C-alpha cells in the first residue's frame, strides 16, 4: 500500500529521510512531571502569610488558597471533596485511566525508579546478576531516598516544610509524626523495590474502580480490526507497554491510556512511510466523541455542576468572622459585695476574612434587646487574616430570678453585626 499524502500522526520530513512521527511521550512526561512537581511544591507556597494548602491539626484549621477554614466550616471542604470526586468519576468515565498514565505521581516514581535501575545496568535479571553489590546498594539507597522524600512531602501538608526540617534536625518531631514518616517511607520503599507497576495493576483501588466506570464510550487505545492486516507483528507495542498488554487483542482494563504503544507503532510504521495502526478513540464503534453523550455522563455532569453551585453559594454566604462563647470552666460565677453576680466567659473570635480586622463585643438580653454590661477583653480586638483569638470577659448582672438568655454580638469597627453567639445564666 502506498501513502502519497501526509500520514496521520507524522510530521513532514525532508526528501530521502524517514518520516518523523509525531510522538506523545514528550507531552506525557511533561504532564507527569508537572503534576508531581506541583504536589511537591504546593506546601512551599504561601498566600497572606499562610500556607497555600495545609491542615493545621493542633488548631483544627485548613488553609486553602488564601481561605482559612475552621473545623466548624469543614462542610465546605466536604462539598469541595464531593464535587472533586464527581469530577474525577466523570473524567474517568470519559477519559479512562488517563490519570494513571499521564498524571499519577506513582507512575512518575515508577518511571524514575526504572530509569535509574537501567542507568545502573540492573534492569534485566541477567544484567543484574553480572553487576556487583555496590550498584545494588546504590539502587536501594535511591529507593529509600525517594520514599523519604514522598513521605516528607505528605507531612508538609500538615507541618510547614521549613518548620518540619527544623524540628526534624532538632529531634523535636512528635512521636506520632515519626511513626507516620517511618511507616509511609517503608510503604513507598516496598512499593518501589517490589511492586511498582503491580501496584497499578493489582493493588491501586482507583484502578479497580475504573473497571466499574469504563463503558463503551470511554477513551481507549484501539487498533481497528480492518487495520490489523497492516500489522507487521514486530511486537514493539507489547514490549513498550508497562502493563504488559497486547493492545491488538482489544481493550483491557489494566490499560492506563499512556499511549506508549501508539508511539511505538507510529515509529515502526513511519519507517515504512505508513501511519501507525493504534489510535485513541472514544469507544470502539467508530462513533467518535458522540459516544460521550449518554445517560451516565449526563447524570454525573448534572451532579457535579449542582455541587459546584451549592459550594459557590455556601462560600459566598460564609460569614467573615465567627464568635464562640462558653462559661469559664475554672470560675463560672461569683456573687459581688453589692449583691450582683459576675459570670465569667471564655470566647473565641475568628477572623475568616483575608485582611486584618478590628472587632468588639457587646451583650444584650435575648428577649427584649436591653444592653448588658461586659468587662474585660471586649474591645480593640485586632486580628490578622485567619487568626483565631481566645479572650476572657465578665458579665455583671443582678442575680436573675429565672433563666436569663443572652446574645453576645461580634461587631466590626463600623458597628456592623458579624456574628451572634447565645448563652444563658440562671
DSSP-assigned beta bridge partners for residue 388 = 350
| Contact by Cβ (8 Å): 73, 80 | no
167-182 core/surface letters (b: 16 or more CB in 10 A; e: else): ebeeeebeeebeebbe
Residues 6+ apart with CB under 8 A from 391: 346, 347, 348, 349, 361, 376, 377, 378, 381
Considering beta carbons, is residue 219 or 323 the nearer one to ligand SF4? Answer: 219
If one asks whether residue 199 binds ligand SF4 (CB under 6 A), the answer comes out as no
If one asks whether residue 198 binds ligand SF4 (CB under 6 A), the answer comes out as no
DSSP 103: I
Identified binder of ligand SF4 from the candidate list 93, 109, 199, 264, rule CB under 6 A: 264
Considering beta carbons, is residue 27 or 165 the nearer one to ligand SF4? Answer: 27
124: left (phi over 0), alpha (psi -120 to 50) or beta: beta
Quickly list DSSP for 186-201: HHHHHIIIIITHHIII
Identified binder of ligand SF4 from the candidate list 234, 302, 332, 336, rule CB under 6 A: 234
If one asks whether residue 109 binds ligand SF4 (CB under 6 A), the answer comes out as no
Closest contact distance (angstroms) between CB of 102 and ligand SF4 is: 10
If one asks whether residue 172 binds ligand SF4 (CB under 6 A), the answer comes out as no
If one asks whether residue 159 binds ligand SF4 (CB under 6 A), the answer comes out as no
Identified binder of ligand SF4 from the candidate list 219, 277, 325, 361, rule CB under 6 A: 277
**Binding range to ligand SF4, per CB under 6 A, among 83-91, 123-131, 260-268, 305-313:** 260-268
If one asks whether residue 257 binds ligand SF4 (CB under 6 A), the answer comes out as yes
d(CA 263, CA 268): 9
DSSP 318: -
- At 34, give phi and psi (nearest 5°): -60, -50
Closest CA to 208 of 74, 97, 60, 372: 97
Considering beta carbons, is residue 220 or 388 the nearer one to ligand SF4? Answer: 220
Considering beta carbons, is residue 115 or 178 the nearer one to ligand SF4? Answer: 115
If one asks whether residue 247 binds ligand SF4 (CB under 6 A), the answer comes out as yes
Closest contact distance (angstroms) between CB of 268 and ligand SF4 is: 5
If one asks whether residue 398 binds ligand SF4 (CB under 6 A), the answer comes out as no
If one asks whether residue 268 binds ligand SF4 (CB under 6 A), the answer comes out as yes
If one asks whether residue 260 binds ligand SF4 (CB under 6 A), the answer comes out as yes
Is the torsion defined by CA of 185, 188, 192, 194 positive or negative?
A: positive
Name the 3-class secondary structure at 27.
Answer: helix
Considering beta carbons, is residue 192 or 277 the nearer one to ligand SF4? Answer: 277
If one asks whether residue 245 binds ligand SF4 (CB under 6 A), the answer comes out as yes
Residues that bind ligand SF4 (CB under 6 A): 101, 221, 223, 231-237, 240-243, 245, 247-248, 255-261, 264-265, 268, 277-278
Amino acid at each position: 500500500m502506498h501513502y502519497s499524502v501526509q500520514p496521520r500522526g507524522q510530521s513532514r520530513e525532508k526528501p530521502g529521510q524517514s518520516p518523523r512521527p509525531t510522538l506523545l511521550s514528550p507531552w506525557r512526561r511533561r504532564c507527569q512531571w508537572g503534576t508531581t512537581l506541583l504536589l511537591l511544591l504546593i506546601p512551599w507556597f504561601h498566600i497572606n502569610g499562610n500556607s497555600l494548602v495545609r491542615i493545621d491539626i493542633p488548631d483544627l484549621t485548613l488553609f486553602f488558597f488564601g481561605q482559612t477554614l475552621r473545623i466548624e466550616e469543614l462542610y465546605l471542604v466536604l462539598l469541595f471533596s464531593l464535587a472533586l470526586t464527581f469530577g474525577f468519576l466523570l473524567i474517568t468515565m470519559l477519559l479512562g485511566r488517563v490519570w494513571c498514565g499521564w498524571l499519577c505521581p506513582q507512575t512518575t516514581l515508577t518511571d524514575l525508579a526504572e530509569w535509574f535501575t537501567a542507568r545502573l545496568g540492573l534492569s534485566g535479571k541477567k544484567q543484574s546478576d553480572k553487576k556487583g553489590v555496590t550498584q545494588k546498594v546504590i539502587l536501594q539507597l535511591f529507593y529509600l531516598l525517594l520514599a523519604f522524600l514522598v513521605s516528607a512531602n505528605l507531612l508538609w501538608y500538615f507541618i510547614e516544610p521549613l518548620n518540619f526540617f527544623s524540628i526534624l534536625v532538632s529531634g523535636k518531631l512528635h512521636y506520632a509524626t515519626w511513626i507516620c514518616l517511618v511507616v509511609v517511607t517503608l510503604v513507598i520503599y516496598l512499593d518501589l523495590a517490589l511492586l511498582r507497576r503491580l501496584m497499578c495493576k493489582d493493588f491501586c483501588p482507583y484502578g479497580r474502580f475504573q473497571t466499574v466506570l469504563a463503558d463503551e464510550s470511554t477513551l481507549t487505545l484501539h487498533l481497528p480490526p480492518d487495520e490489523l492486516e497492516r500489522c507487521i507483528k514486530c511486537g514493539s507495542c507489547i514490549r513498550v507497554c508497562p502493563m504488559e498488554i497486547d493492545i491488538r487483542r482489544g481493550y483491557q482494563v489494566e490499560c492506563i491510556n499512556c499511549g506508549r504503544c501508539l508511539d511505538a507503532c507510529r515509529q515502526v510504521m513511519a519507517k515504512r512511510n505508513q501511519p501507525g495502526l493504534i489510535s485513541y478513540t472514544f469507544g470502539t464503534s467508530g462513533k467518535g466523541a458522540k459516544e460521550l453523550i449518554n445517560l451516565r455522563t449526563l447524570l454525573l455532569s448534572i451532579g457535579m455542576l449542582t455541587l459546584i453551585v451549592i459550594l459557590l453559594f455556601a462560600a459566598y454566604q460564609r460569614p467573615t468572622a465567627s464568635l464562640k462563647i462558653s462559661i469559664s470552666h475554672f470560675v463560672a460565677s461569683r456573687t459581688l459585695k453589692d449583691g450582683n453576680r459576675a459570670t465569667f466567659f471564655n470566647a473565641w473570635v475568628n477572623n475568616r476574612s483575608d485582611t486584618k480586622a478590628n472587632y468588639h463585643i457587646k451583650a444584650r438580653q435575648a428577649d427584649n434587646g436591653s444592653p448588658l454590661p461586659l468587662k474585660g477583653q471586649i474591645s480593640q480586638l485586632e486580628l490578622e487574616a485567619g487568626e483565631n483569638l481566645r479572650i476572657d470577659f465578665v458579665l455583671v448582672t443582678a442575680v436573675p430570678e429565672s433563666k436569663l438568655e443572652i446574645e453576645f454580638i461580634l461587631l466590626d469597627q463600623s458597628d456592623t453585626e458579624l456574628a451572634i453567639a447565645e448563652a444563658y445564666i440562671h
